[in-house]
Structure 1
Amino acid sequence: MCAMLGPATRSASRDETPTATATPESTAPPLTESRPCSDIVGFTCAYLTVPLDRREGAPGTLRLRVATADNAAAPRGTLLLLTGGPGQAGAGLLPRLRQRFSYLLNDYRLVMIDQRGTGAGALTCEPLQAEVGSSDVTVPTPEAVRECARLLGPNRDLYTTADTVADLEDLRRALGVPQWTLDGVSYGSFVAQHYGLTFPHRVRRMVLDSVVPQDGPDALYVTGLRRAGWMLRQACQEQRCGHDPAAALADVVRRYDNGVGVFDLIVAASIVDPKLTGTGFFPVLALLRSAAQGDPAPLNQAIAELEGGGGTSPERYSAGLHLATLCADLIHAPWGDSTTPLRRRDAAIDQAVRKLRPDQVWPFEPKTAVGHGVVQGCRHWPPSRPNPQPPHPRLTMPVLLINGDRDVSTPLEWAVEQAERTPRGKLVTIPGMGHSIQGRNPVGDQAVREFLLS
């Protein structure tokens, strides 16, 4: 069944798409139930109560867990760290992430929050959670998607990025800080940008790690599919693997019709093992070679072991929140935005496949671009209120963008696109690195250190 914090009893109607706005400065909500965090020394944990539905007079609230460093007088102010997904917990990850950001903690007061629908207040849709866990690519069954939408009910419309942005503005006021610095990773980079485009005068600086463009991703993942071939060839050259893994991949997906599964494997590798060494992860290069030579069993076994979300709790990563937010946020889906009726989506997907040239997605096939979890999940998600777009077109504060050149989840081209439309933006590309840079790569950490501490 689906669980939700607070008396979540009302949604926005689908013919109303107000921009989510925070409550007035004079009525900023306080942080309540403050006490030392039980899982990390030097931080205070509390709750921020926000409206479920921000239309005037609408009932229902949510309690969002917040973890705040105790150095309130940090010389460079407050640093809000935003995690990814959508669906990943925030405050609960602090014990693991604190060490990654230790070089900033003397100068900044670090703050993390469980964004609405995540962490202790996670939206829970058990069938969907069991099928996909934290994967963007794994394909859910239509039945699991429909069941999740039914469990969430009309309130599924109240988890857009704009709603989260308004929550963050309430958090800023509750902390009593006139400005702060934002650091967003993956989907967190999208949230950070939308906050900065909504409340630009409240942001001092911004770090975007593994960048999602401010207009959102291309739902077909064409760029990521192409970059996978480049990533394979780079890794093969380093390891002298003795064959062309991109050509092997093209052959394998054509012969065995497993493009989505292979893409899922490569996306995971770009996060865990971007050099594809096989150390602690699947030996992708060897698996592709074996399959191209006529033995797909090891590759298929690796895909089967990767798929399924039984080991991922919704408190760590909510698949229900992921779908509710993602499907509302998409404006580049084959069918348009989230208001499109379900009956028109299948034809739009078929048309999108016909329009794609094979070279646009090689070494994959065009059908892989519409066969993965983003398209196949949202094609069955009921029409909903779309994510309201922020009022400003450009980020005006200093922005550092960092991206790995082997990132298949948020490919480098997305960061380049965003940097080109950010007047005070600086892009640093991290060679040989995949998804999520900070705390995992010294070049990336040095770039962040110079940007935030200079």
Structure 2
Amino acid sequence: MNSRKTRFVIAIAIACALLGYRALKPKDETSTGKADAASAPVAPLKPVMLGKIPFTPCNLSSTMSRDTLEAQCATFEVPEDRANPAGRKIALNIAWLEPTGSGEKMPDPLFLLAGGPGQAAVETFPAMNPILKEVRKLRSVILIDQRGTGKSNLLSCDAVDGEDDGDSSPEAMQAAAGKCVETLSKKADLRHYTTTDAVADLEAVRKAIGAAQVNLMGVSYGTRVAQQYAMRHPDVTRSIVLDSPVPNTQGLGNIFARNLDDALALQFALCTRTATCKDKLGNPRAELDALLAKLRAAPVTVSYHDASTGEQRQDVLRAETVAGLVRMYAYMPAAGALLPKLIHEANAGRYENLMALSQMMHGEMKDAMAMGMQLSVICSEDADSMVAREEDKDTVLGNLMPEGMAAMCKAWPKGNAPADFHKALATKVPALVLAGEFDPVTPPRYGEEIVKTLPNGRLFVLRGQGHSVLGAGCMPKLFAQFVEKADAKALDGKCLDKLAYTPPFTSFNGWEP
């Protein structure tokens, strides 16, 4: 891996702000494949009106799911800058999934708010459709690609443009972000792609479809959008579901290093508390620290089989590569159960599996986020919290993310956030709050903070789960019950007691019987 790729690894760690990552190179939406996969009209049929918006039939598909769903799709124009309504417009990409059941249809739809910042709701929905099976029987689901994502004027860019100058410093990242600004500014005023702008878009769509009230379901960054909407429009918000939430009060600048280390301590303890795992693999955290120190001192050239092509390849394994892989696997404890074995093998000089999995993860995740939109959000809303801390210096991630984000935000145009933007949400709107016990980015204490000011809110912490937990165990059933009755405190959550921990792998064949 050359120094140009090293800079890309750093950009990946930064772009992993909440759910995943995407690279920094401006792209034409018509050539990415994403636009074609997200929503393609099947025939020029007569539009179906939902309120004032005409919809036509389309199919929804996603790289994250094999399912293809029939839906109705539309675009809805909104001003890019609401202070200048005669200026440039954004055509929001919208999908409407009609109720599937034969019973009386409910008038209040469910709005799904994607994570990131930078994910597109339309593209990500097919993977979530099975979770919403019961909810969809009586309610419509509305998907809106947030401005700057998907087909709503996508802001996509690549942090490693230009010559391989060997420089992966904050100054180089600032310069790369500046190049992205220069290109994207030809089609967007980057100051107007914030959460506050997105909330105004949601309200405009609600009015246009004629819904008196809506239910909001947000995942990760989507929980910030949900909280901001409920704060600004409580009377039209029937209920909110916050899956893996970040509180309004929390800046995103330097939360990642400590939260990851805390989650790894919990996940790795499953090995150190198991005699067989500890005997075979040692202390996973001590082994990880040793591996990172070794690679920082001397990166290793590794020959491995490419998982997608089967070809033999050679690349350089660096500490940043390992840190990124560990972080992404920690999001999913079922996958993270493999980490102690991978780390132990690498410390013994067997790097092939770690290298192959890292490259596979990079290939699968590189198109998950719209990095330009993400920077518009975090640079406008979280810049004050991008501060390196001494106590984070010796963590797995160190101060890589706040330093890198701060550097890029120096070049990025910033929008305005309301004075009360970081005020805790305090509302009587019914709220279901979900957190994973092992979440490496939005830990359960965030959910605990949120429900303190929600008198009709309730928190469920799901045993052994990571980030994004709505599909775990019986949670889809509880979710459907909540949306039906809008009463979180009436839910019987005993079925969640059946959730079990995933034992750590002691070999590549699995865990001990």
Same fold (TM > 0.5): yes
Per-residue CA deviations over 1:315-338 (Å, capped at 9, x if unaligned) read x6322212222222215423xxxx
Q: For residue 100 of structure 1, give the secondary structure of its aligned residue in structure 2.
A: helix
Q: 3-state DSSP class of the match of 2:95? A: strand
Aligned identity (percent) is 26
Match among 124, 137, 144 for residue 93 of structure 1:
124
Tell me, in whole angstroms, the C-alpha distance in 2 between the residues paired with 1:2 and 1:41. Answer: 26
Q: Does 2:75 correspond to 1:47?
A: yes
| Structure 1 residue 37 corresponds to structure 2 residue 58 | yes
Higher Rg: 2
* Counterparts of residues 250-329 of structure 1 (less than 5 Å): 250-257=289-296, 260-274=320-334, 276-277=336-337, 283-293=338-348, 299=354, 302-307=357-362, 312-313=366-367, 317-329=369-381
1:193-227 deviation line (CA, Å, top 9, x unaligned): 11111111111111000112113444112432322
Deviation of the 1:76 alpha carbon: 6.3
Q: Distance in 2 between matches of 1:201 and 1:227?
A: 38
Note if contact 1:196-1:395 (Cα within 8 Å) is conserved in structure 2: no
Q: Given residue 51 of structure 1, which amino acid in structure 2 is its aligned partner?
A: P
In the aligned structure 2, how far is the partner of 1:275 from the partner of 1:181?
A: 32
Question: How far has the Cα of 1:168 moved from its partner?
Answer: 0.2
Please tell me whether residue 187 in structure 1 is matched to residue 239 in structure 2.
no
Contact kept, 8 Å, 1:226 with 1:361, in 2: the verdict is no
Does the 8 Å contact 1:401/1:427 carry over to 2? yes
Instruction: Tell me by how many angstroms 1:296 deviates.
Output: 5.7
Q: TM-score scaled by structure 1?
A: 0.76
C-alpha distance after superposition, 1:279-323 (max 9, x if no partner) = xxxx321222234456666545544553468x644xx63222122
Question: Given the superposition, is the C-alpha separation of residues 213 and 237 from structure 1 closer, same or farther in structure 2, using an over 3 Å criterion?
Answer: same
Q: Where does structure 2 lack aligned partners over 5 or more consecutive residues?
A: 1-25, 31-49, 61-67, 163-169, 297-317, 486-513
TM-score (norm 2): 0.68
Counterpart CA distance in 2 for 1:181 and 1:55 is 28
Residues 52, 210 of structure 2: 8 Å contact kept: no
Partner of 2:200: 166
Give a deviation string over 1:250-305, Cα, whole Å, max 9, x none: 3333343366433321231133444523xxxxx32122223445666654554455
Considering only aligned residues, what root-mean-square deviation do their CA atoms show, in Å?
3.3
Deviation for aligned residue 1:4: 8.2
Equivalent pairs counted in the alignment come to 393
Instruction: Look up the match of 2:493.
Output: none
More displaced, 42-51 or 250-259? 250-259
1:5-154 matches, cutoff 5 A: 31-39=52-60, 43-71=71-99, 74-75=105-106, 77-128=108-159, 141-153=173-185
Q: Give the residue type in structure 1 aligned to 2:374.
A: H
Unaligned runs of 5+ in 1: 6-28, 132-138, 278-282, 335-348
**1:209 maps to amino acid:** D
Higher relative contact order (CA 8 A, sep 6+): 1
Does the residue aligned with 2:343 lie in a helix, a strand or coil?
helix
For residues 180-219 of structure 1, what are the structure 2 equivalents within 5 Å? 180-219=214-253
Could you tell me which amino acid in structure 2 is paired with residue 382 of structure 1? Answer: W
Q: Residues 106-144 of structure 1, C-alpha deviation per residue, up to 9 Å, x if partnerless?
A: 23221111111111234344433999xxxxxxx994443
Task: Return the offset for 1:369.
Answer: 5.8
Q: Distance in 1 between the 2:466 and 2:177 partners?
A: 29
User: Would you identify which runs of 4 or more consecutive aligned residues in structure 1 move more than 6 Å?
Assistant: none
Distance 1:71 1:390, change over 3 A: farther
Write the distance in 2 (CA, Å) between the matches of 1:30 and 1:104. 21
Could you tell which deviates more after superposition, 300-309 or 268-277?
300-309
**Inter-partner Cα distance in structure 1 for 2:161 and 2:328:** 18
Match of 1:381 among 401, 411, 414: 411
Instruction: Output the amino acid matched with 1:163.
Output: D
Q: Is the 8 A contact 1:209 1:437 kept in 2?
A: yes
- For 2:133 and 2:398, the matched residues in 1 are separated by 44
Distance 1:58 1:384, change over 3 A: farther
Counterpart AA for 1:207: V
Compared CA separation, residues 273 and 375, structure 1 to 2 (3 A)? farther
Distance across 1 between alignment mates of 2:355 and 2:175: 24
Alpha-carbon distance in 2 for matches of 1:109, 1:100? 14
